[in-house]
Amino acid sequence: MIKKKVLLTRIFPKLATQLLEDAGYEVIAWDQEQPMPYDEMIKVAQSCNALFCTLTDKIDVAFLNRCSHLNIITQFAVGYDNIAIAEATKLGIPIGYAPNAMNEATADIAFGLMIATARKMFFMNQKIKNGQWGSFDPVGHLGLELKGKKLGILGLGRIGMVMAKRCKGAYDMEILYHNRSSNEKAEKEFGAKRVDFDTLIAKSDVISVHCALTPETRGIFNKSVFDRMKSTALFINTARGGIHNEGDLIHAIQNGDIWGAGLDVTNPEPMKPDNPLLTMENVCVLPHIGSATITARNEMARMGATNIISFYEEGKVPYIVNPEAF
Ligand code: GLV
């Protein structure tokens, strides 16, 4: 029997290759640290049956039409805004993804950024490196405390639930959220309150973004929204950089419209080293490491490999974005 060929577009955890090869698949893996260039991806995919990709790969309408022979694409991430899902569905290509794998890991980064931003940790650490640790300063660089504050979650789903649990347990925070539908589990377990978007931004001391990047959420945090937030509010984004308008965020912090921001995602990625956010006292930026734990990344690899193997062996994709593609 001819082996099915799977193209891996990045250096993924070894488990992905191991599971695929053990199941009898041939793995063609891009071996450079930087993402596989778009044209190269199309060229190599011509001789492959399945694609194992991630959020740095542009799987747009043109890509899909030039690679419409692919039987299945699986995304090493929970977000899939880099993939033209409607077109894939039209072409009958199922799209797999990796939900739940990084709930704990990403909530840890949101929680960590919240504390780090409230206490100016990245900025103060940089001062030591710059040789600017003078002496204990009774009035310098004072931060905020989080106990009993209001946490506002945009997109209270799987990752938001873990963030809510962390914040409830550590600081007894009051949980507000804005979702299309209500989250009864969160209401029952954390006393979370569903509110409209305007109430969420006006009342929250910490806004934590956990929604997908969609046409409705793209740039939703803009000047008009930052203007209506508390001047002591923290803005935490571990979802996608496209959800906030970066220029408006910089202006809002410089102007004192909000207190500060903790970002694991930026727009574009990577952020340029001369970005003003990187030297601001009340800002902490990380390079999109939400899911970067050994546990999460191995689980993401397992889910991707399982999607491909189950597709060929059982005709179903266990972690699927577009079941209607079948
Ligand atoms: C990471 O950002 C993911 O979507 O999994």
pLDDT 10s digits, 33-62? 999 999 999 999 999 999 999 999 999 999
- Which atom of ligand 1 is closest in space to residue 77's alpha carbon? 5
Q: Output the CA 157–ligand 1 centroid distance in Å.
A: 14
209 lines ligand 1 (CB under 6 A): no
244 noted as active-site residue? no
DSSP element (H, E) containing 151: strand 150-154
76 CA closest ligand 1 atom index: 5
Instruction: Pick the atom of ligand 1 nearest to 240's CA.
Output: 2
How far CA 316 is from CA of 27, 84, 242, 326, in Å, comes to: 20, 21, 32, 9
At residue 283, the pLDDT reads 99
What's the 104 CA to ligand 1 centre distance in angstroms?
A: 13
- For the beta sheet containing 174-178, the strands, ordered from the edge strand earlier in sequence to the opposite edge, are 193-194, 174-178, 150-154, 206-209, 234-237, 260-263, 283-285
Angle at 94 between CA 91 and CA 97, to 5 degrees: 140
Residue with CA nearest ligand 1 atom 5: 77
Q: Is the CB of 55 under 6 A from ligand 1?
A: yes
The whole-number pLDDT of residue 44 equals 98
Q: Is 110 in the pocket of ligand 1 (CB under 6 A)?
A: no
Active-site choice (240, 246, 297, 299): 240
May I ask the CATH architecture of the domain 5-101+294-325? 3-Layer(aba) Sandwich (3.40)
Q: Where are the alpha helices (DSSP H) in the chain?
A: 14-22, 38-45, 61-66, 85-90, 103-118, 121-129, 158-171, 184-190, 197-203, 223-228, 246-254, 294-314
Q: Which long-range contacts (CB under 8 A, 24 or more apart) does 85-92 make?
A: 85/321, 85/322, 87/60, 87/61, 88/59, 88/64, 88/322, 88/325, 89/322, 89/324, 89/325, 91/64, 91/65, 91/325, 92/325, 92/326
Task: Please tell me the predicted confidence (pLDDT) of residue 52.
Answer: 99
> What class, spelled out in words, does domain 103-285 have in CATH?
alpha beta
Say which residues have a Cβ less than 8 Å from residue 2's Cβ, sequence separation at least 6: none
Distances (CA, A) of 304 to 34, 36, 42, 180, 236: 20, 18, 20, 28, 28
Question: Ligand 1 pocket, 290 CB below 6 A?
Answer: yes
With a cut of 80, say whether residue 1 has pLDDT above it: no
Give the pLDDT confidence of 176-228 residue by residue, as tens digits: 999 999 999 999 999 999 999 999 999 999 999 999 999 999 999 999 999 99
Kindly give the number of the ligand 1 atom that is closest to the alpha carbon of 300. 5
Predicted TM-score (pTM) of this structure: 0.97
**Mean per-residue pLDDT of the chain:** 98
* Residue nearest (by alpha carbon) to ligand 1 atom 3: 77
Task: Name the token pair of 264.
Answer: 């694991």
H or E stretch at 26: strand 26-29
Per-residue pLDDT band for 310 (boundaries 50, 70, 90) equals: very high
pLDDT at 2: 82
pLDDT in tens, 77-125: 999 999 999 999 999 999 999 999 999 999 999 999 999 999 999 999 9
Question: In this structure, is the dihedral angle defined by the CA atoms of residues 309, 311, 316 and 322, taken in order, positive or negative?
Answer: positive
For ligand 1, is residue 303 a contact (CB within 6 Å)? no
Distance, CA 266 to ligand 1 centroid (Å)? 13
Indicate if ligand 1 lies below 6 Å from the C-beta of 77. yes
243-260: average pLDDT: 98
Q: What is the mean pLDDT of residues 143-172?
A: 98
User: Which atom, in ligand 1's list, is nearest to the CA of 98?
Assistant: 5
Alpha carbon nearest to ligand 1 atom 4, residue: 79
Q: Is the CB of 159 under 6 A from ligand 1?
A: no
106 in ligand 1 pocket by Cβ < 6 Å?
no
Reported as a pLDDT band with limits 50, 70 and 90, residue 267 is: very high
Q: Where are the domains of the chain?
A: 5-101+294-325, 103-285
* Residue 304 beta carbon below 6 angstroms from any ligand 1 atom: no
Whether 5-101+294-325 and 103-285 share one fold: the answer is yes
Task: For residue 315, give every residue at least 6 positions away whose Cβ sits within 8 Å of its Cβ, in sequence order, or none.
Answer: none
C-alpha–C-alpha distance, residues 25 and 44, integer Å: 16
State the first-to-last Cα distance of the chain, in angstroms, to the nearest integer: 25
Structure tokens at 83: 């993939």
CA distance 271 to 11: 21
Q: Is 240 a catalytic residue?
A: yes
